[in-house]
Structure 1
Amino acid sequence: MDSECSRLLPALCAVLADPRQPVTDDTCLEKLLDWFKTVAEAESSLLLLQENPCLVELLSHTLKSQDMSARVLSFSLRLAGIFAAQENCFQYLQQGELMLGLFGEAGPVGLPAWSVPSVRSGWIQGLCSLAQHPSAEQFLVDCGAVDTLFSLQGDSSLFVASAASQLLAQALSLSLQGRDTPQLGSQDSDWPSCARSIVGHLEEALRSRATPQVTQALKVLTTTFGRCHHPWTQALWMQLSPLVTCLLEKDPIPAAHSVADLFLTMARSPVFASSDCDLWVMLVRTLSRLSPTQAGPLALGVCKLHVCPLALRTQAFDVLLQPMACILEAAAQPPGPSDLLDGTRGSSSMADTLLASTSSCAGLLCQSLAHLGELQPLSHSPRPWPQAPLLEATLATLRFCNGSAVPLSSVGVRLCGILAGCVRVQRAALDFLAALSQGTGSPDLVMKVSAVLLEYLRSPDSSPMVLKKAFQATLQWLLTTSQAGGSCDPSPHSQPFIGELFPVMQKRLCSPCWEVRDSALEFLTHLTAHWGGQPGFRQALLASDAPELAKQLLRDPEGYVRASAVAAMGQLAARGLHASSAHPEQPGAQQKHLLPELMDILSSDSEGFPRRAVMQVFTAWLRDGHAEVAQDPERFMAGVFQVVGQDLDWEVRLQGLELAGVFLAQVLGPPACPYAAAPPTAAPSVQLAEVLRALGRVRVLEFAFHTLFDCDRPVARKSCDLLLLLRARTAPDSRLQGAGRCPDTAAVEATLQAWQEGKQGQPLGELGPEVVVAVLWMLDLEGLQATLAESSDHVEQSPQSLLQDMLATAAALDDHEADCY
């Protein structure tokens, strides 16, 4: 610790110890703790306390004060734990019974402040910090901390309760550290006192009839087996496994989710995966005993295990498939197929859960669909992926939800009533249907998928989110079927489907709900991006009113919709597809009208999203050589930067620099290859000078210099990168560099200085090539780039300044409080 900080510490400790001195900011105390932790890790904590006795005095005052604020008390407890993490410092604090007073039963546990969760949390965090060495093990027992932790496991604060369980697991690991013999635990006397106390509590909790106590014990075990992979964990499990086994005999199983978490944690541990324990047998038993909803997460975890008996993984896979098998059985016509989902049939308990209520049915189906969606891309499925049956089951689920199913069984009829209009299940099923597009399917199944998707897209009952999911699933299936055919064109099976999509899109583009209009525009944009060059798609699109409707939405009252309309029209225009439906044979008929309209949005739209979308479209147009931009690039750029230079949205300015970078790359041409056999030939100075003049005429230079000092860091960084690139490309011309002392640079330098100081400054105007190069070399662009690359708190925040700020804040608040009277 430096001398200046040591000089400031006594005053700060006095402020913290005085309850009349307000400490306003918890963040400052957190920073102070972080600093002390850093110092303690780098130096001797004992020496630190001996050289700064005010710290010990602060901790001692914590014991005596009855009116210390909760935040300072919590801070002191955590600070004491940081120092006591080193064993010699722990013993030094123990000599004056300071540790026992802070963490013992006579300490803050008996103070009124103990009712504040932050104090209880600080007490636990302090003990977590000091529980690092053998001396701390016996201390935890002697001071009564272990017993207090047992009670805090049921704390009303979830943070405190969770921290208590974590600390118990840490204390158990500390007490058994280095004891690797599997025979540990053959007799109670073999266990250290701290471990005996904790294990005894766990045994008592596991025998309890109260589910919360069972849950608490299981959480400690789960944390222990997740953190510790030592042989002593086998001995611990051998002692406690009979009690956990007894839980599986109860109906229902108490704390079932916690039991599943424990077994999964053990299965992931190399200690148990390679041992001869009966873990796999218990997992088999647990999967068969849990309710369908409880078994799902455990089954998913088992299916993801790489080291696991095949029979167990197959059983877990069947558990995940059973809800879909029930759906298939309910949708089948009597007598129904005899073999569903590769032999998997729905169990009676599964059917009971599905038919119990809408909430239980929806919960089970959504869980099953989500879990199967996670397994679908994995390569180590226990048996072949049942693509076709799962597709049938997913489509049946969607039909049950929208009422289009015609079930002939009583179960199917009940499911129609339970799932009718269930948005939650519809969203989950559409997500899974999109995931299933990555598999294979017969043409008949693909046609069934198309039919169901069209039902949802056409239905007036489909909610906005369901419609969005339906659009996304439709796009995925169209893309997959095209790729499967080995062509960029839509597959022959998809062509009629695409033709039926346009009337749906037209209807959705006119929806009174803005989310629906937005989703339809996004879908139109993606379709055009993928198939805008294909004749069949172009003909169907131009024969519809979709382009004209999308153009009308450029003036939509909702900003998100206007932004999506800009993106859609930009994509249509790039493909020459935004002609009116009356003139489909003239794809460029209305193209000349789009650029002014987008420029109007850029200059006058009150929301940032549409303006950002316009800039993204302009950048794509310039990069791709769009016809209207290519006619006169300089005029286009000058018009854009006249507007963008005044925009207050930093993302618009950032996109403006992206546009400037594309223009710069085009006027400069490709850079010389650094691996070429012959040295690159420098471009003539006339050519470079003309490039710089062009950049000045289109206002790119003034925009880049101005944004170099932008208050938004990403903008300034992008500008710096752009100017560095420009300087690197103009560097070979020594005649342009020779103007470094040009008198014209003085005015430019003054303007840049004003901009850097946040002042308006004079516009740069048109700059000569020599002046531009001189300014580029005059600026310390590398230094600015390094500064901008630093984090947002790169300004010095030393421990000294932190201490000074806390002292100054306390003094200011004290003066303000006095003025009130």
Structure 2
Amino acid sequence: MRFLMFPLQGPLRIMDPECSHLLPALCAVLADPRQPVADDTCLEKLLDWFKTVTEAESSLLLLQENPCLVELLSHVLRPQDVSPRVLSFALRLAGTFAAQEDCFQYLQQGELLLGLFGETGTLGWAAWNVPSVRSGWIQGLSALARHPSALHFLADSGAVDTVFSLQGDPSLFVASAASQLLVHILALSMRGEAVERCSPQGSAWPACAQKIVSHVEESLRSTDTPQVTQALNVLTTTFGRCHSPWTEVLWDQLSPLVACLLERDPVPAGHSLVDLLLSVARSPVFSSTDCGLWETVAQTLSRLSPTQAGPLALGTLKLQHCPQALRTQAFGVLLQPLACVLKAATQTPGSSGLLDGTVGGSLTVDALLSSKSACGGLLCQTLAHLEELQPLPQRPSPWPQAPLLEAVVTILRLCNGSAAPSSSVGGRLCGTLAGCLRVQRAALDFLGTLSQGTSPQELVPQVFAVLLEYLESPDSSPTVLKKAFQATLGWLLSSPKTPGCSDFGPHIPLFLGELFPVLQKRLCSPCWEVRDSALEFFTNLSRHWGGQADFRKALLSSEAPTLTQQLLRDPESYVRASAVSAMAQLSSQGLQATLASPEHPETEQGLLKEFLHILSADSEGFPRRAVVQVFTQWLRDGYAEVARDTEQFVATVLQVVSQDLDWEVRVQGLELAQVFLAQKLGQPAHCPYAVGLPEGPSPGLRPEVLRNLCQPWLLEFAFRALFDCDRPVAQKACDLLLFLRDKTAPCAGMQETGDNPCLDSVEAILQRWQAGEQGQSLGDPEPEAMLAVLRSIDLEGLQGRLAESSDHVEKSPQSLLQDMLATVGVLEENEADCY
């Protein structure tokens, strides 16, 4: 191969002699309290490296060959001589080594592990007050708990009791890690073959398992809510991770204590209780038997507050196996807040039609009226849960589409003050929800989701009316307006066609007549987020409905296209980018009639020039990216102005793009070039980004065709991009050149290029580009020389190397050790290899 780029370094051994040589000095630095210890990042990398070593080699052999590691672990037993950071590292390192049973026995001989993890060791030191030390202690124990010897150690050293106490640690990270460790120990204890096969009663379980279960039982009986929460969290993780027969025995033993929690007032740890019940219900162990689970779930639904019961109701309805009676109860829990809203706001009492007579209504009303935050939180949760449930195949049937629509429209009107409730409860709700933005956002999201269902036609005008209220209202925040636009788009796109009407159902033409004046107003909003949302809505609407006569008539009688063109010069870059997309969509649909008439056919040419000006002169990247994306789509679609002289168009665009400082613009420029080549050479049979040899020769690739394809402006852009400092650009250039090389492979032998001076010149220029000298141009080389260069480059190898993670450049263990030693001056400066 004449031309090789990006040579690879050979792989390093996991523990090579150089690293072994540096380890004693590093261990001495870590053990010396006078030396500034390396930062946490270096210690994490060092620990990751040791984990990699122990996964591939014997930990015992590693310690025997590097006794400095054992010396370091022994040294940290003198707490006054070590920093908390190094102590935490050493605890985790010891656990990593002790994960292998023979190494565990080796470390146990000198009672090193007992000194680090036992009750008389680390726990009594002043450093134990540092959360990172307690966390390192837990992580070390979790790492070593991998074999039977570790179980005996945990039982005899008192470590399990310490884990119990750490469940209530003030550090949430430590407390969570302690609960996770208990589950890990319990699963390890029950891993024995006899236990798994016979699923014995809890009284016959291993000692460690019995101790943990007894602790959970005691915590469940406690009147201290945090202790109950800790026990429930341990059980939730256990049933979520462990799906062996013994978990059924565990549930039989503990479910009566769980059920007893429901007898307390209030029910303690409601959210944790919900998590536990759903974890048990999802376990495959309980798929064929309920073990009293469904009765407990039903009782819990009726005892928890509406806010706590909502997640349990949703989780129950999403289960594949669940009694129908329980599904009905769960759905009733979800619908109850909306039923209360309808009942409170309706003019005719008892006409809500949604869960009339359902129990628990008084609790829900109390929650809705207790405070503004409680009311908003409950309604937002309810609407989000129903939105999540609506598209699922296991949603309840029949789905109450009409009552849900009435409820969400009522909520939106309560929020904007347009509702006129007759009851005192409705009046209080109106005052509570007035101007509540989060409820407005949640209700508009759900209203948009409901557009996917089949709605009674008599309710559709109400939907459009409330949407128009929000689009018109000066009080609508930018985020609420954005969601109102999204919901409006959903309802417009889902509107059924009606025979006898020109294009749409009877409600749409009237609504469009009211919509466009509002849209014009929003396109002129002083808030850029509103202008941007309006443009996005306008673009999507034009894309879907640009061919409909009613829509075209309403649009062309408005000023929306003119305003959109003016926004190409908006002060905000996001708006300019959205205006580019909107104008491109209007142009592709022939909807820019307000900008020009048949007597002025230069509109398309003017738009093209304006886009080219944006691409070359706009100071922000977003509009320039939008322009190149539009140009690429125009090229794909055969846009008239582009099709007149495709080659000149692509050459002009790439000349500008090649100088752009935004890597996304350059990537999109390469996409444009690839679309151009694909059109000229023929689209591949598979994915256009996949690389493969052509299925057969391409007889149409005559020398004059190759000359047209191998234009310097195209190949120079692609080759320069191959050496781009932004990896996505180089990857895209590599894909493009692979495509060009493979599509022109049948012409590879049309000329012998052995000592072609043109080829030598091109290769020399590319080598200078690779070295960072970008000044010289390729000039006008022969197509045969360019094809020869393509064949000489290892594009497949380069593609593979570009796909590697960004830290592949240099992260050898030796480099890490040298850097850590250089930081404290142990190595000379020129020996460090920072990365």
Tell me what 2:752 maps to: 738
CA gap of 1:239–1:681, structure 2 versus 1, over 3 A, is closer
1:583-598 to structure 2, matched below 5 A, reads 588=601, 590-598=603-611
Tell me what 1:607 maps to: 620
Alignment deviations for residues 530-585 of structure 1 (CA, whole Å, 9 cap, x no partner) = 1222232222212111111111111111111111111111111222222326x666
SS of equivalent to 2:168 = coil
Tell me what 1:362 maps to: 376
Residue identity matched to 1:481 = S
Tell me what 1:309 maps to: 323
SS of equivalent to 2:797 = helix
Identify the range of structure 1 (405-414 vs 784-793) with the bigger mean alpha-carbon deviation: 784-793
Q: Could you tell me how far 1:201 is from its partner in structure 2?
A: 2.5
Q: Provide the rounded CA distance (Å) in 2 between the counterparts of 1:371 and 1:488.
A: 38
Q: Provide the rounded CA distance (Å) in 2 between the counterparts of 1:484 and 1:239.
A: 62
SS of equivalent to 2:757 = coil
Q: Could you tell me how far 1:31 is from its partner in structure 2?
A: 2.3
Say whether 1:98 aligns with 2:112: yes
Q: Could you tell me how far 1:236 is from its partner in structure 2?
A: 3.0
Which among 434, 443, 447 is matched to residue 429 of structure 1?
443
Q: Provide the rounded CA distance (Å) in 2 between the counterparts of 1:449 and 1:80.
A: 65
Residue identity matched to 1:402 = N
Tell me what 2:833 maps to: none
| Residue identity (%) | 69
1:223-242 to structure 2, matched below 5 A, reads 223-242=237-256
Q: Could you tell me how far 1:232 is from its partner in structure 2?
A: 2.9
Q: Could you tell me how far 1:754 is from its partner in structure 2?
A: 1.6
Residue identity matched to 2:354 = L
Q: Provide the rounded CA distance (Å) in 2 between the counterparts of 1:4 and 1:618.
A: 55
- TM-score computed with the length of structure 1 as normaliser: 0.93
Identify the range of structure 1 (76-85 vs 2-11) with the bigger mean alpha-carbon deviation: 2-11
Q: Could you tell me how far 1:644 is from its partner in structure 2?
A: 1.0
Tell me what 1:30 maps to: 44
2:502–2:550: 8 Å Cα contact kept in structure 1? no
Alignment deviations for residues 662-692 of structure 1 (CA, whole Å, 9 cap, x no partner) = 22223334569999xx965512524423423
Say whether 1:643 aligns with 2:656: yes
Q: Could you tell me how far 1:590 is from its partner in structure 2?
A: 2.8
1:395-434 to structure 2, matched below 5 A, reads 395-434=409-448
Which among 706, 723, 727 is matched to residue 689 of structure 1?
706
CA gap of 1:584–1:423, structure 2 versus 1, over 3 A, is farther
Residue identity matched to 2:603 = Q
Q: Could you tell me how far 1:370 is from its partner in structure 2?
A: 0.6
SS of equivalent to 1:793 = helix
Q: Could you tell me how far 1:376 is from its partner in structure 2?
A: 0.6
Q: Which has the higher contact order (CA 8 A, sep 6+)?
A: 2
1:770-785 to structure 2, matched below 5 A, reads 770-785=784-799
CA gap of 1:262–1:5, structure 2 versus 1, over 3 A, is same
SS of equivalent to 1:811 = coil
Q: Could you tell me how far 1:392 is from its partner in structure 2?
A: 1.1
- TM-score computed with the length of structure 2 as normaliser: 0.92
Which among 196, 201, 206 is matched to residue 184 of structure 1?
201
Residue identity matched to 1:600 = H
Alignment deviations for residues 609-654 of structure 1 (CA, whole Å, 9 cap, x no partner) = 0110111111111221222222222332232222111111000000
Q: Provide the rounded CA distance (Å) in 2 between the counterparts of 1:96 and 1:672.
A: 68
Q: Provide the rounded CA distance (Å) in 2 between the counterparts of 1:243 and 1:668.
A: 73
1:194-205 to structure 2, matched below 5 A, reads 194-205=208-219
Q: Provide the rounded CA distance (Å) in 2 between the counterparts of 1:95 and 1:812.
A: 33
CA gap of 1:768–1:166, structure 2 versus 1, over 3 A, is same
Residue identity matched to 2:676 = F
Identify the range of structure 1 (471-480 vs 571-580) with the bigger mean alpha-carbon deviation: 571-580
Q: Could you tell me how far 1:79 is from its partner in structure 2?
A: 1.0
Residue identity matched to 1:177 = R
Q: Provide the rounded CA distance (Å) in 1 between the counterparts of 2:412 and 2:279.
A: 36
Alignment deviations for residues 687-745 of structure 1 (CA, whole Å, 9 cap, x no partner) = 4234235x33xx22211111111111111111111112222222322565434532123
Say whether 1:439 aligns with 2:486: no
Q: Could you tell me how far 1:148 is from its partner in structure 2?
A: 1.6
Q: Provide the rounded CA distance (Å) in 1 between the counterparts of 2:360 and 2:165.
A: 43
Residue identity matched to 1:685 = R
CA gap of 1:757–1:145, structure 2 versus 1, over 3 A, is same
Q: Provide the rounded CA distance (Å) in 2 between the counterparts of 1:191 and 1:591.
A: 80
Q: Provide the rounded CA distance (Å) in 2 between the counterparts of 1:483 and 1:57.
A: 81
Q: Could you tell me how far 1:341 is from its partner in structure 2?
A: 4.7
Alignment deviations for residues 105-131 of structure 1 (CA, whole Å, 9 cap, x no partner) = 222222222222111111000000111
Q: Provide the rounded CA distance (Å) in 2 between the counterparts of 1:707 and 1:232.
A: 60
Q: Provide the rounded CA distance (Å) in 2 between the counterparts of 1:466 and 1:276.
A: 44
Identify the range of structure 1 (494-503 vs 337-346) with the bigger mean alpha-carbon deviation: 337-346
Which among 530, 548, 561 is matched to residue 562 of structure 2?
548
1:328–1:396: 8 Å Cα contact kept in structure 2? yes
Tell me what 1:168 maps to: 182
Q: Could you tell me how far 1:809 is from its partner in structure 2?
A: 3.3
1:735-814 to structure 2, matched below 5 A, reads 736-739=750-753, 741-811=755-825
Q: Provide the rounded CA distance (Å) in 2 between the counterparts of 1:199 and 1:282.
A: 20
Q: Provide the rounded CA distance (Å) in 1 between the counterparts of 2:600 and 2:476.
A: 34
Residue identity matched to 1:655 = Q
Gaps of 5+ in 1: 817-821
Say whether 1:61 aligns with 2:75: yes
Which among 340, 344, 353 is matched to residue 330 of structure 1?
344
CA gap of 1:715–1:489, structure 2 versus 1, over 3 A, is farther
Alignment deviations for residues 467-522 of structure 1 (CA, whole Å, 9 cap, x no partner) = 10011111111111258999995444322222322111100000000000000000
Q: Could you tell me how far 1:59 is from its partner in structure 2?
A: 0.6
Which among 47, 55, 58 is matched to residue 41 of structure 1?
55
CA gap of 1:234–1:632, structure 2 versus 1, over 3 A, is closer
Say whether 1:379 aligns with 2:393: yes
SS of equivalent to 2:322 = coil
Tell me what 1:819 maps to: none
RMSD over aligned Cα, in angstroms? Answer: 2.7
Identify the range of structure 1 (431-440 vs 24-33) with the bigger mean alpha-carbon deviation: 24-33
1:559–1:610: 8 Å Cα contact kept in structure 2? yes
Count of equivalent residues: 808
Q: Provide the rounded CA distance (Å) in 2 between the counterparts of 1:680 and 1:760.
A: 36
Say whether 1:633 aligns with 2:652: no
Q: Could you tell me how far 1:49 is from its partner in structure 2?
A: 1.8
Residue identity matched to 1:414 = R
Q: Provide the rounded CA distance (Å) in 1 between the counterparts of 2:468 and 2:246.
A: 60
Q: Could you tell me how far 1:403 is from its partner in structure 2?
A: 1.0
Q: Provide the rounded CA distance (Å) in 2 between the counterparts of 1:607 and 1:410.
A: 55
CA gap of 1:377–1:365, structure 2 versus 1, over 3 A, is same
Identify the range of structure 1 (485-494 vs 118-127) with the bigger mean alpha-carbon deviation: 485-494
Alignment deviations for residues 44-91 of structure 1 (CA, whole Å, 9 cap, x no partner) = 322222222211111101112413122211111011111111222212
Residue identity matched to 1:454 = L
1:741–1:774: 8 Å Cα contact kept in structure 2? no
2:352–2:403: 8 Å Cα contact kept in structure 1? no
Q: Provide the rounded CA distance (Å) in 2 between the counterparts of 1:209 and 1:241.
A: 17
